[in-house]
Amino acid sequence: MHRRQGSSRSPTQTGKTMASTTPIDSPPPMQAPPVAPQQPKPAKTGRAGDKVFLALSRGSGILLLVIMASIAGFLTYRASIAISKDEGNFLTTFDWNPAGDPPVFGIAVLLFGTVVSSVIAMVIAVPIAVGIALFISHYAPRKLAAPIAYVVDLLAAVPSIIYGIWGALFLVPYLEGLNLWLDDYFGWTYIFDKTEVGVARSLFTVGILLAIMILPIVTSVSREVFLQVPRMNEEAALALGATRWEVIRMSVLPFGRSGVISASMLGLGRALGETMAVATVLSPSFLISLHVLDPGGGTFAQNIAAKFDEANELGRDALIASGLVLFVLTLLVNGAARLIIARRKEYSGANA
């Protein structure tokens, strides 16, 4: 019998055989390219409801622009008629007599009174409104915050004539004592130097009344902005050991700065165009005085409301010309506010 002998090789021989059969410089096996994830197909937007909504939205925006352009065109046309017949300088004249011979009318006193009363209102109202909004949103307990917020919203709904009647019957008689106190202690500033004796029907009284009127608007908008502050930012500041005021100063106020500016501009818009309350409280006169405690003065809206019914055709064109100046002033104020907000957003984005 022949014994079958197997071919037995040592490990060294086996390695040499494998090395001889496998090329050393052979490239690695090719890998399959990764399969890109399939992008979801965009939803179809050809439905009738989407088309109708798009058309309504676009039409609303175009309609708003058309209305603004028509108002500007009407005011400009009627103002040009009045200014062409004015014998004085419309921007610097202190007198208002369109029915005279020759007709003379100017907006210097009206522009001064409108700006001064609005500035007084903003200086008084904005800090108080921001403080109330912070108290409601971050300090007051829930049971107390809800009633206060409700009362503030109710104040925003009160008609302006009610504020005017209250100002004429309550604010004017009792504000003379405050005027005398300001004259005694702050008369050296020249602004609060009371040179005329009389009731408190002055631009300062109008500014206080306008501050009370715009206070609910600024408070409501600021409160909603402060409530939108991310909770994680406040909790992170508290975890680092910050006090409540430091949390507000570092987290709440920087986040809500643009919202407070927008709220202030809304209040300023109402202060610039307020009519009935100012007409009820202010004693009209066409004299410019830097003493804000002296009685007298005038604003655009108050002058239009007081003179429109008795004015002739040229007088109405003159009042419309003053309304055009108020229209331009409001646009400039709102444009400046939008520019400030846009720059704040760019600055915040660059520092993020």
pLDDT computed for residue 7 by the predictor:
45
Tell me how far apart the 2 most distant CA atoms of the chain are, in Å: 152
Question: What value does the mean pLDDT take over residues 231-241?
Answer: 86
Amino acid 5: pLDDT: 47
What pLDDT is attached to residue 20?
Answer: 47
Q: What angle do CA 118, 173, 192 make, to 5 degrees?
A: 50
Whether 293 contacts 208, CB under 8 Å = no
141, amino acid identity: P
Distance between CA 62 and CA 42 in Å, rounded? Answer: 28
pLDDT value at 352 more than 60: no
Domain 62-346: give its CATH superfamily: MetI-like (1.10.3720.10)
Per-residue pLDDT of 99-140, as tens digits, reads 877 888 888 999 999 999 999 999 999 999 999 999 998 888
How many residues belong to the chain?
A: 352
Q: Cα torsion for 335, 339, 345, 348, to the nearest 10°? A: -150
Quick one: which of 83, 94, 76, 86 has its CA closest to 298?
A: 94
Cis peptide leading into residue 141 (ω within 30°): no
Kindly report whether the global pTM for this prediction surpasses the value 0.85: no
pLDDT at res. 15: 46
The larger pLDDT score, comparing residue 263 to residue 349, is at 263
- The percentage of residues in the chain with a pLDDT greater than 90, rounded to a whole number, is 31
List, for residues 238-252, the tens digit of each pLDDT value. 888 888 888 888 888
Distance CA 221, CA 333 (A): 18
pLDDT single digits (tens) 179-225 = 888 888 888 888 888 887 777 888 999 999 999 999 999 999 999 99
Q: What confidence tens digit (pLDDT) does each residue in 141-183 have? A: 888 998 999 999 888 889 999 999 999 999 988 888 888 888 8
> Rounded to an integer, what distance in angstroms lies between the CA atom of residue 220 and that of residue 307?
35
pLDDT band, very low/low/confident/very high, at 70 (cuts 50, 70, 90)? very high
Higher per-residue pLDDT: 87 or 121: 121
For the chain, the structural domain boundaries read 62-346
8-state DSSP, 159? -
Amino acid 124: pLDDT:
95
Cβ count within 10 A of residue 178: 15
pLDDT for 21 beyond 60: no
198 sits in the region (left: phi over 0; alpha: psi -120 to 50; else beta) called left
Q: What is the model's pLDDT at position 12?
A: 47
Rounded distance, CA 130 to CA 254, Å?
A: 13
- pLDDT tens, residue by residue, 259-297: 898 899 889 988 998 888 998 998 888 888 888 888 888
